Amino acid sequence: MNYKILLFLFSLATSATFAQVNYCIDTSYTVMNTFKKEIKKFPEIKIREQKHISAVRVLNDITYTDTKTRPLQLDVFMPNTNKKNYPTIIMIHGGGWKSGNKSHLFPMAEKLAEKGFICVTVAYRLSPEAKYPNGIYDIKKAIQFIKENHQKIQVDTTKLAILGCSSGGQMAVLVGTTNLNPKFQDLESNYKSSVAVQAIIDIDGILAFHHPESKEGEMAAFWLNGTSIENKKNWIEASALTHVDQNTPPTLFINSQYDRFHAGRDDMVAVLKQNAIPYQIEIIENSPHTFWLFDPYFDLTISYITQFLQKTFK
């Protein structure tokens, strides 16, 4: 990789080294805690670890924006070649909108980078720190940051996907279905680039909060600043199903066996069909909700993502 590119990225990564952190941290959702819970029902599972392979170059903790509580950072996983303009995936971790860490998606980011994608894992403000819609604002700023530095990071801005898992999946689809809606952007942002993405990947994230299939409760209410009765407006507005239309990008749904984690999916598919927008549904049977963290489901998940994006971005 070009030395100037590495120098640029290193300068970004070190810019927040001494920044003061002043926010609430919820560490209840971790890969190990999830493993201990799920292995009781799925004894065959193994945690998929990051392998630190030489074919992938990683830049950690690049600051993309500052907030009142802390700088927000992202990580860039890129193929270790001299090629330019890679298709790129913005990745959003799960954790019930209140917990979780971008490092949970490092194994997936590394594997997809090995297959020829730049992957960007993003830290965003969670509900103990800032309520909806601030996390959505953060993700969209990360998209703008990547676009405004695309030449230095070798990103093809015409081939940008948004991917999320569980609550991160819900956020990914909301980001993707509000491409043209300025209401979901921080108007005080210094970034000017478009927030549009060209593909959506929803890994077991709901499409509608207020829906017969949805069983969202306390954690959703905490993020949305009230229950569905107290703050019905936010529950509807934060549902991607509210916004899906003819401008929605091609979408891949990868789901577990649990119906509640794809509440609203079939309704969204009906709108995609009506507008002749490509979509794909893959069900990973007999799996835990958090299948993407574990073998034997990890490689199948990667395969679905890779095939979908190669077809979408051809």
pLDDT in tens, 118-149: 999 999 999 999 999 999 999 999 999 999 99
Helix 167-177 and helix 134-148: axis angle, to 10°? Answer: 60
pLDDT above 50 for 15? no
Does residue 263 contact residue 239 with C-beta atoms inside 8 Å?
Answer: no
pLDDT above 80 for 20? no
Name the band, by pLDDT with cuts 50, 70 and 90, for residue 189. confident
3-state secondary structure of 280: strand
Question: What is the per-residue pLDDT for 7?
Answer: 54
Query: How many structural domains does the chain have?
Result: 1
pLDDT above 90 for 117? yes
pLDDT above 90 for 25? no
Q: Which helix (H) or strand (E) holds 11?
A: helix 3-14
The CATH number of residue 71's host domain is 3.40.50.1820
Name the band, by pLDDT with cuts 50, 70 and 90, for residue 17. very low
Question: What is the per-residue pLDDT for 119?
Answer: 99
Does residue 118 contact residue 155 with C-beta atoms inside 8 Å?
Answer: yes
pLDDT above 90 for 273? yes
**What are the b/e assignments for 9-48, b being 16+ CB within 10 Å?**
beebbeebeeeeeeeeeeeebebeebbeebeeebeebeeb
Q: What percent of the chain has pLDDT over 90?
A: 85
Bridge partners (DSSP) listed for residue 283? 255
pLDDT in tens, 143-185: 999 999 999 999 999 999 999 999 999 999 999 999 989 989 9
- Indicate the Cα dihedral angle 155, 60, 51, 162, nearest 10°: -40
On the CB side of 13, CA atoms within 13 Å amount to 13
Average pLDDT over residues 282-301: 98
User: Which residues, at least 6 apart from 279, have a Cβ–Cβ distance to it below 8 Å?
Assistant: 250, 251, 252, 253, 269, 272, 273
Tell me, yes or no, if the pTM score tops 0.85. yes
Question: What is the per-residue pLDDT for 180?
Answer: 87
User: Which residues, at least 6 apart from 40, have a Cβ–Cβ distance to it below 8 Å?
Assistant: none
Sheet holding 86-92, edge to edge: 56-66, 71-79, 118-122, 86-92, 155-165, 199-203, 251-255, 279-283
Question: What is the per-residue pLDDT for 217?
Answer: 76
Nearest CA-CA partner of 181 in 137, 225, 149: 137
Question: What is the per-residue pLDDT for 210?
Answer: 74
Average pLDDT over residues 29-33: 98
Name the band, by pLDDT with cuts 50, 70 and 90, for residue 4. low
Question: What is the per-residue pLDDT for 188?
Answer: 84
pLDDT in tens, 38-80: 999 999 999 999 999 999 999 999 999 999 899 999 999 999 9
Question: What is the per-residue pLDDT for 6?
Answer: 52
pLDDT above 50 for 211? yes
Phi and psi, residue 296, nearest 5°: -95, 20
Round to whole Å and give the CA distance between 166 and 176.
15
In sequence order, which ranges of 115-227 are alpha helices (DSSP H)? 134-148, 150-153, 167-177, 218-223
Round to whole Å and give the CA distance between 146 and 150.
6
Provide the token pair at 273.
Answer: 């069909």
pLDDT above 70 for 5? no
Name the band, by pLDDT with cuts 50, 70 and 90, for residue 284. very high
Residue 106 lies in domain: 3-312
Task: Based on DSSP, count helices (H) and strands (E) in the chain, helices before strands.
Answer: 10, 10
Least confident of 7-11, 85-89, 281-285: 7-11
Name the band, by pLDDT with cuts 50, 70 and 90, for residue 24. confident
Q: Which helix (H) or strand (E) holds 157?
A: strand 155-165
Round to whole Å and give the CA distance between 290 and 234.
26
